[in-house]
Structure 1
Amino acid sequence: MTRSARWAWVVSAIAVTGACVVLALLLSIGATSERDFFQRNYVWLYRVTLALAVLLVLVIAIAALRLALRLRQGKFGSRLLLKLAGIFALVGVVPGVLIYTVSYQFVNRSIESWFDQQLAGALTAGLSLGTDTLDALKTDLGLKTRSAAERLSDIGSLPQTLALERVRDQLAARSVSLIGGNGQVLFSVGESSSALAPDRPDASLLRLARGPKGWTSKVEDLDVETPASVGHARIRALALLPSSNFSLGASDRYLMVVQGLPSTLATNALAVAAANSEYQKRALGREGLREFYLGTLTLVLILAVFGALLLAVTLGNQLARPLLLLADGVRQVAQGDLTAKPVLASRDELGGLTRSFADMTQQLADARGLVEKSVVQLERARTNLQTILDNLTAGVIVFDAQGLIDTVNPGATRILRLPLSAYRGRRLDEVPHLEAFARGVWQRFETQEDSPEAGERGHWQESFELQMDASQDVLTLLVRGAALPQSARLMVFDDISEVVSAQRSAAWSEVARRLAHEIKNPLTPIQLSAERLQHKLEAKLEGTDQAMLVRSVSTIVNQVQAMKQLVNEFRDYARLPAARLVQLDLNELVAEVLQLYVSAQEAGRLHAELDSDPPHIVGDATQLRQVIHNLVQNALDAVSEREHGHVLVRTQKALNENGELRGLRLLVTDNGPGFADKVLKRAFEPYVTTKSKGTGLGLAVVKKIADEHGARIRLVNLHKQGDEAEPVIGAQVSLSFSKLATAPSPADAPSDEHRPA
């Protein structure tokens, strides 16, 4: 507990104690009759209470000022403190004010009810009734005493004692006495007769008895001041005894009768008299009594209210402190601060709550550390995975649970030649030219989920032929699909078009080898047999028969020669010798081959643009001459039917983005009709040609030689302004050599045996 909190508790305890003391004093005074004590000490009690009130007001003002400063400075939790203080103040003040209002009205009305006219009249009537009753008793006893005195004067011969005893019995008196003129008791019967000092009447009674009435009576020993004398209350009656003796020296005599007053009547009379006396006293001090009660009640209220306010501020601070501690900690946690949080030292639930919050924050800090470490590892793994995906030659597409494209790697964009990254969040069938492919893939996914084939364990594999559009190649894709967690799907695919082409080439190589072996052997006997027939029969036949024989044999020989040429080409394709790689000058090879096409050059249908300083390449001169010859011949064949057809042969350096040399290109360009769309992708396969008399082995041999030299060959159609939507204006075949030699050597120069015949 802080020092300010301890002072607040001390002052609150003093205030509450003062209020309790004043209230106890009020209750004790209300329950007793010691009002003089309170009236004597009311001033200093009021001053002490007022001093306590001033002290409480000062403390409350200081607390309110501190709270206002916190609120103005915008310190965290000031609004909560204000709210708690207001709530506790309302809880303490409102019931106090309500009780004060009710008590004020109650006291005011009670005091007024004490002094209403009906009660005063009742007390007066009761007092009058008691007085009249006593007067009636006195009068009755006085008249009876006078009558008894007259009878005693007539009976002079009876003894005095007997006469008095008879009067006592008749009047049911306590005692009856015969009194002399000076008040001495002459004779007495009853209680006073046995007394050592007989009860003598005072002179006033004797004087009244000598009056005109001749008798008097008086109530004795009935005093409000001494209520204990009720049992001794009595009525004394005194009557002058008539005398028949007219002598001058004779003295008066009196008959005195003492009769007891009934105790019930005496008690009631005293009670009425006492109540009336008290009522008269209080009626005289009614305003002072009201001020006394209301002032005391107000002082108690002030102490209670100020004590409640101070306790409200104190309790508000005590309750708000752990709450503010928690709130500040929550705010720091919300801002990402998970450092160690302070803990309240108390052992109550709020202290336990702060400790639990501190433990929770520490756990969150530990968990965040683990999460950050995991995120770093995950990000590192994701980066590695993304790097792997980016460098994969295969295409990778990940679909989410709704079948939408989620992840696409560059390999997929490169293989399909479509901007797949722009279609993330969309379905695959929404990508142009992939509708049929998407249907096939999803049908395969559904088939694998519903009824997987034998050997499939969460994945499938199938090949698809994809026709991008009417002007592009047919792609052969090997697609593998797999199910991922949370209903996601993975599709990995490769472009196996070249693999299929290579398989076809291998198949044609095997076919060519078998054909060369099976067909070449019978061709020579057939040709020889036909020539022998012509030699034996040509002289024996005449006319049309001889002409028919000559034509038939010529046809057989020509067809056999054609079949021999076909078989030789198949043999050359199947049994192409291994390349002997040496340093070569590509410009010299091109010039040597173009010497075979002098007529075409002179006709302006063939041109050459050779690089001025090309690097030397590494290759086989014989095979490369065959390549150049095939490419030039194919280009001249493509423009043979065009009036202004021309072929351009070029050599040029291949440079990278930094201007560094990375290879040498050979380009053969023509302005012919170009390649058919269906031929572009399969142009290098055997028996694929657009010529009516071609075997389709020329470009296949070129592709095989290019592969032996590690060169890259490419066929494209040329369009106006480079726009594929424009008509075709020619074709171009490029052969790129990446194996370069540093400098040519004489030993590496082509020999005569490698020169074309």
Structure 2
Amino acid sequence: MQELIKHFNQMSRQIKTSREGLDTHNLYLETILKYSYGVIGLDQKRRIQLINPVIGKMLNINNEKKFIGKLCGTISAKYNYLKPLFELTADKFKQNLGEWEEQIELSLPNKHILLTCQGTALDTQDKTLGYVIIIKDISQLHRAQKKAAWGEVAIRMAHEIKNPLTPILLSAQRLRNKFLDALKGKDLEIIDKTTHTIIEQVKSMDTMVSAFAEYANTPQIERRPCDLNTIIYQSAELYNAQSNVSIEFDLSGDIPELLLDANSISRVLINLVKNSTESAEDEHNLVVKIVSQYLESEGIVRLSIQDDGHGFDGDVIDRVFEPYVTTKVKGSGLGMAIVQNIIEQHDGRIFAGNVEPHGAIVTIEFDYKA
């Protein structure tokens, strides 16, 4: 009897240890599912059996659990922007590759993202039980790599272009000083016009070179507790003086103080409002609406600048924050890239899109923890 009790106690301890190990393992898996990569689990018929909150946040899905039990094709039909993702995974699993990895770009309703997707089939005894898809948003990493590459290009361009500008400018000014008083008639007109054109073009190129240098060497910010609404008023109110532009403010009174570099954020706002007002050249009574919100449940302060102008050109909307992308005749294409740099220095996010029936919207989000 004592021997039996001894074995029973030993078995109980082993069961307890196994349960503790299983609980630890489950907790570890739950933590991965909650905080790390996006994970989707499918059954044999490619119905979703598991989807974690990371997927919901990554793909702008409210209550991602509503997808559980549904076929990927059914979801694609309702959420068209997810179609490329599910078509890719279906194609890979049909090829019976076992494990695969692929990058894919998705155009969500308010942003453009780059994802890396890894998939594997859950096989046992020549039978497929289901599939697992692991997804990571690498948009920020991709942007950082492109920014570094463009930064090197900008430094080289600034150096190569700026060197000859000063002697060209001085030569044009010297020609004016020497010949404007000595010439008359047609010759005077030609010298005056050509040297003036050279000087103006050199100044324009110098401005562009300065923008290159500024993009390549974005200054470090100094963040202090700030009232975002005050910065908005002070930055945008200046444009209310324009006869064909009306600035409307819808600023929430419960916006908490944020750690911001006030000068940098002011510069962002001025740039964005300026972009909107420039679309009013052929418009009458353009309206620019600035909205601030505190989404406490999401831990986000959201700022949006919306206008009822022409909106972003369809050819550039997915690349609007890339360096040297512009539809303006005299634009350097660096304004929005610098704006994005400043927002990312604040650990924020910025998105651009168009609104119906016409107009553009830029949305900025800052994380806030009470």
- TM-score class normalised by the smaller sequence: 0.7 to 0.9
Choose which of 636, 647, 668 in structure 1 pairs with 2:305: 668
| TM superposition score normalised by structure 1 | 0.40
Find the aligned partners of 1:638 and 1:603 in 2 and give their Cα distance. Answer: 11
Query: Cα distance, 1:565 vs. partner?
Result: 0.5
1:618: which partner in 2? 259
Structure 2: segments with no counterpart, 5+ residues: 1-7
Measured in 2, the distance between the counterparts of 1:713 and 1:569 equals: 21
- Quickly say closer, same or farther: Cα 1:633–1:425, change in 2 above 3 A: closer
Percent of residue pairs bearing the same amino acid type: 32
With normalisation by structure 2, the TM-score equals 0.75
Q: Secondary structure at the match of 1:484?
A: strand
In the alignment, the residues of structure 1 paired with residue 107 and residue 142 of structure 2 have an alpha-carbon distance, to the nearest angstrom, of: 16
1:733 paired residue number: 362
Taking the aligned partners of 1:657 and 1:627, their CA distance within structure 2 comes to 26
Structure with bigger helix share is: 1
Higher RCO (CA 8 Å, separation ≥ 6 residues): 2
1:10-47 superposed Cα distances (whole Å, 9 cap, x missing partner): xxxxxxxxxxxxxxxxxxxxxxxxxxxxxxxxxxxxxx
Query: 2:103: which partner in 1?
Result: 463
- Does the 8 A contact of 2:244 with 2:286 survive in 1? no
Q: 1:676 to 1:710 in 2, by over 3 A?
A: same
Query: Would the aligned equivalents of 1:618 and 1:740 in 2 still touch at CA under 8 Å?
Result: no
Matches of 1:597 and 1:584 in 2, distance apart?
A: 22
Please state if 1:410 is matched with 2:53.
yes
- 3-state SS of paired residue (2:115): strand
Cα distance between partner residues in 2 of 1:607 and 1:654: 18
Cα separation, 1, equivalents of 2:59 and 2:39 = 11
AA of the residue aligned to 1:482? T
For 1:133, the equivalent position in structure 2 comes to none
Please, which of 504, 515, 520 is the counterpart of residue 162 of structure 2? 520
Who is 2:3 aligned against?
Answer: none
The C-alpha deviation readout for 1:87-129, integer Å capped at 9, x for no partner, is xxxxxxxxxxxxxxxxxxxxxxxxxxxxxxxxxxxxxxxxxxx
Pair 1:481 & 2:119 matched: yes
Distance in 1 (CA, whole Å) between partners of 2:42 and 2:254 is 53
- Alpha-carbon shift at residue 534 of structure 1 (Å): 3.6
Which string of whole-angstrom CA distances, capped at 9 and with x for unpartnered residues, describes residues 620-642 of structure 1? 23323312211221222233432
1:613 deviates by 7.9
Number of aligned residues: 353
For the aligned residues, what is the CA RMSD?
A: 4.2
> Which one of the candidate residues 321, 324, 336 is aligned to 1:699?
336
Contact 1:512 1:573 in 2 (8 A): yes
Query: Residues 324-354 of structure 1: CA distance to partner in whole angstroms, max 9, x if unpaired?
Result: xxxxxxxxxxxxxxxxxxxxxxxxxxxxxxx
For structure 1, list consecutive stretches of 5 or more residues without a partner in the other structure: 1-364, 450-457, 719-726, 742-757
CA distance in 2, matches of 1:465, 1:653: 29
| Alpha-carbon contact 1:710-1:739 (below 8 Å) kept | no
Partner-residue secondary structure (3-state), 2:269: helix
Structure 1 counterpart of 2:76, which letter? V
Q: Which is higher, the Rg of structure 1 or of structure 2?
A: 1
Q: Distance in 2 between matches of 1:549 and 1:428?
A: 70
Alpha-carbon distance, 1:579 to partner: 1.2
Greater mean deviation of Cα atoms: 585-594 or 699-708: 585-594
Amino acid of the structure 2 residue aligned with 1:508: W
Structure 1 residues 688, 417: closer, same or farther in 2, change over 3 A?
Answer: same
Range with greater deviation from structure 2 (732-741 or 669-678): 732-741
Which of 171, 179, 191 is equivalent to 1:549? Answer: 191
Partner Cα separation in structure 2 for residue 482 and residue 638 of structure 1: 49
The residue aligned with 2:346 is 709
Give, in angstroms, the shift of residue 460 of structure 1: 3.6
Q: Separation in 1 of the partners of 2:89 and 2:368?
A: 41
C-alpha spacing 1:682/1:385, structure 2 compared with 1 (3 Å): farther
The equivalent of 2:67 in structure 1 is 422
